[in-house]
Structure formats: C-alpha cells, structure tokens
C-alpha cells in the first residue's frame, strides 16, 4: 500500500537538454547493442555508457523494450543512409555489378555495421514488430536493384548479401571483392539482358 513516507530528496544538478539526453541514451544503447547484442541491454549499462544517471534511462523510455526499439531504429536508420549512398553510386554507374560489389564489400568490412545488421536480424526473430526494421536492408537493396535488373534477380542478390553479412560476422572479415563481384555479376546479368540494353544509352 506504500503509506507514502517518501523516498528522499535527491540533490541533482542537471544539464537541461532533454533532446540531447534522449539522443545520448539512444546512442549509447545502440552502441551496446552492436557490441553485446540486443539481449544484453540493461538500464545500468546504458546509463553508464551515456554518462547519465540511472533514472534518466527510465525517465525517457517507459520500458527497456522501448529503449531497445529506439536504439534498433537508430541502427536501421544508419542502414538507410548506407543504402542511399549505394543507390547513388549504383545509379551513377548505371547499375554496374562491380560497383555494387565494391560498395557491399565496404559495408561488410565495417564490423560495427555488420554487427548492427546481425543484431537487427536476431532481435526481430522473436519480435514481429521489428521485422520491418530488420528488413530495411533487404527490402531497400531489392528496390534499388530493381532499377537495374529484374525483380527476381534483385531479390537473389539481396538474399546473397544477407548471406554475405552472416559470413562476415562469423569470419570477422568480409568475402573478398572478387568473389562478391563474380557472384553479383552472375546474378544480376541473369535477368537483365533486356532491361540492361534499355538502360545503356551512353
């Protein structure tokens, strides 16, 4: 029943920057997820990493799960940026598979990025609400490639890229560029004979 005898009168000297604080907390959580996996997130670790008091982590997020989702959201947003870059490069190169392979290799060489992907995948397995987040890369890549090859080939490449992510995370380094190039080229060429000739105007 908690007769309400009070919890004390904490002295606190706080920076007054809610936005920044929230951001710092999410950022810290995202880092921890990349480092330790989505399941090992705790308020305490986040607070410590973000250099905020424990209470702040519960003040800004009504549950740990909410915080986790915000952090995964952030990781997914980074994937979107990545994708935008790839889309531009690829458009500039008129869908050249080698360019995609290079870009993919760069992504896969970034361990943080790869682990972030893995964390998203894993977190989404038992959290259907996160599926769309986890599929950002796959769906985004498929869409980008659809401008340069047929949908089935696009999907095949996207599937392959997820496999390459698993490969990178388990080997601590990505497949070599040549292998990526070869496979991606093979898969993209497959259904492109026609659409490719359309694109070739230069």
Partner DNA sequence: TATGAATGAGTCTTCATTCAT
Partner DNA sequence: GATGAATGAAGACTCATTCAT
Q: Which positions touch DNA (CB under 7 A)? A: 2, 4, 6-18, 21, 41-45, 52-60, 62-65
| Site residues (CB under 8 A) for its own copies, limited to 48-107 | 63-65, 68
Are the C-beta atoms of residues 30 and 71 closer than 8 Å to each other?
yes
CA angle 132, 50, 54 (to 5 degrees): 100
CA distances (Å), 28 to each of 21, 114, 163, in order?
10, 18, 28
| Site residues (CB under 8 A) for its own copies, limited to 116-145 | 118, 121-122, 124-126, 131, 134-135, 138
Task: Annotate 126-180 with DSSP letters as a single string.
Answer: T-GGGHHHHTHHHHHHHHHHHTTS-HHHHHHHHHHHHHHHHHHHHHSSPPPHHHH
Q: How far is the CB of 11 from DNA (least distance, A)?
A: 6
Q: Which is nearer to its own copies, 60 or 121 (CB)?
A: 121
- From DNA, its own copies, none, interface partner of 12 (C-beta below 5 to 8 A by class): DNA
- From DNA, its own copies, none, interface partner of 198 (C-beta below 5 to 8 A by class): its own copies
Q: Which is nearer to DNA, 2 or 170 (CB)?
A: 2
Q: How far is the CB of 126 from its own copies (least distance, A)?
A: 7
- From DNA, its own copies, none, interface partner of 200 (C-beta below 5 to 8 A by class): its own copies
Residue linked to tokens 């920076």: 15
Residues ≥6 apart with Cβ < 8 Å to 36:
45
């Amino acid at each position: 029943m908690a007769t309400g005898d009070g919890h004390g009168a904490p002295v606190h000297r706080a920076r007054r920057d809610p936005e920044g604080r929230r951001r710092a907390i999410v950022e810290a959580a995202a880092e921890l997820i990349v480092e330790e996996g989505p399941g090992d997130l705790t308020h305490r670790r986040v607070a410590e990493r973000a250099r905020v008091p424990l209470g702040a982590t519960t003040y800004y997020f009504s549950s740990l799960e909410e915080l986790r989702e915000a952090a995964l959201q952030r990781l997914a947003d980074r994937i979107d940026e990545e994708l935008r870059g790839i889309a531009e490069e690829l458009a500039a190169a008129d869908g050249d598979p080698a360019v995609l392979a290079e870009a993919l290799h760069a992504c896969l060489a970034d361990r943080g990025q790869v682990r972030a992907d893995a964390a998203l995948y894993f977190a989404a397995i038992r959290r259907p609400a996160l599926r769309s987040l986890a599929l950002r890369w796959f769906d985004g890549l498929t869409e980008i490639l659809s401008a340069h090859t047929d949908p089935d080939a696009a999907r095949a490449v996207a599937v392959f890229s997820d496999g390459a992510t698993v490969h990178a995370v388990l080997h601590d380094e990505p497949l070599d560029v040549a292998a990526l190039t070869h496979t991606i080229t093979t898969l993209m060429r497959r259904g492109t004979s026609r659409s490719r000739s359309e694109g070739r105007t230069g």
